[in-house]
Amino acid sequence: MVAAIGGSGSRPMDFNQSVASNSVRYEDVSMLFPGNRGAPPTLAIDRFSLDVAESEFLVIVGPSGCGKSTILAMSGGLATPTTGKVFLGRELITQPGPNKAIVFQNFSLFPWKTVVDNIEFGLRLNHVAAEERRHRIDYYLPVIGLKGFEKHYPRQLSGGMQQRVAIARALVLRPRLLLMDEPFAALDAQNRTVMQEELVRVWSEHKPTVIFVTHSVEEAVFLADRIVVMTRRPGRIKEVIDVRETAGAQHWRARPLDQVMRHNDFQDLRARVWGLIRDEIVIE
């Protein structure tokens, strides 16, 4: 099934066929926002340097205003760093594009398009042939559990279903890099848990490099290969935690969250990450 979809290398959308690897490199990235009306400028990100390996699942956590969403926007080409560079493989990221797919916190689906049209829009924009579009949509609709909802409009769906459409819209592009900006923050706790598990399942099919931003420590520990903890503004890397170094952690995200959460190792790691973040939270 998967091979049939990924086939025929001459198509313009086969980003995975590219020679460049799908690693991401942040080189001394800083972001300075100019102050409004004479206010002093704000340093949002301060010399952020990091290498993210191909197919790695990286989760960035930190207190509010630590600039984690800004890092994501820069990775997607929606924002340009004031100084420093971001690379995807050997390509300098300067503008958004379908090889750097983004899943937004508030879904950002096109309300006048049906589920299928929303998913298909990116494929059409990139001139993917009709037959190939059909293939990919037929593959992803059941994967995201929206078979039978093809003709529905976003407002007719629950928040969880809308976010699954947004995830499918990103994944059908076969991106080299998948960027997720607190994608489950708008969902209730139950939907959130189910979506986390489903995301792992869908992601495992092609394993694009993922950079995932969240407030939730539990989500970070469950999903991540590595966790980047940020300081409060100006955002710097406080600590990088390799979850894979914890025995058994490689399989955490492949199992149901409620089982994994009972592990002492999981709870220890969660406590450690939370401790790092708590030091950074200031009540203003």
Question: Interface with another protein by CB under 8 A: which residues?
Answer: 76, 78, 95-98, 100-102, 104, 106, 108-112, 121-122, 125-126, 169, 173
Nearer of residues 84 and 96 to another protein, judged by Cβ = 96
Nearer of residues 57 and 107 to another protein, judged by Cβ = 107
Q: In what order do the strands lie in the sheet with 226-230?
A: 100-103, 177-181, 209-214, 57-61, 226-230, 237-242
- From 170, 150, 50, select the one nearest 104 (Cα to Cα): 170
Nearer of residues 35 and 111 to another protein, judged by Cβ = 111
> How are beta strands 209-214 and 57-61 bridged, if at all?
parallel
CB of 112 to another protein, least distance (A): 5
CB of 63 to another protein, least distance (A): 23
Please give the structure tokens belonging to residue 40.
Answer: 């002093």
CB of 172 to another protein, least distance (A): 10
CB of 208 to another protein, least distance (A): 14
Nearer of residues 52 and 79 to another protein, judged by Cβ = 79
122, 128, 130, 133: CA torsion to nearest 10: -60
Cβ atoms within 10 Å, residue 235:
27
Answer for the pair 74, 93: CB distance below 8 angstroms, yes or no. Answer: yes
CB of 126 to another protein, least distance (A): 5
Cα separation, 162 vs 140, whole angstroms: 14
Nearer of residues 178 and 237 to another protein, judged by Cβ = 178
> Could you write out the DSSP letters of every residue in 158-218?
-HHHHHHHHHHHHHTT--SEEEEESTTTTS-HHHHHHHHHHHHHHHHHH--EEEEEES-HH
Nearer of residues 78 and 194 to another protein, judged by Cβ = 78
Nearer of residues 146 and 165 to another protein, judged by Cβ = 165
CB of 101 to another protein, least distance (A): 6
CB of 78 to another protein, least distance (A): 6
> How are beta strands 42-52 and 24-33 bridged, if at all?
antiparallel
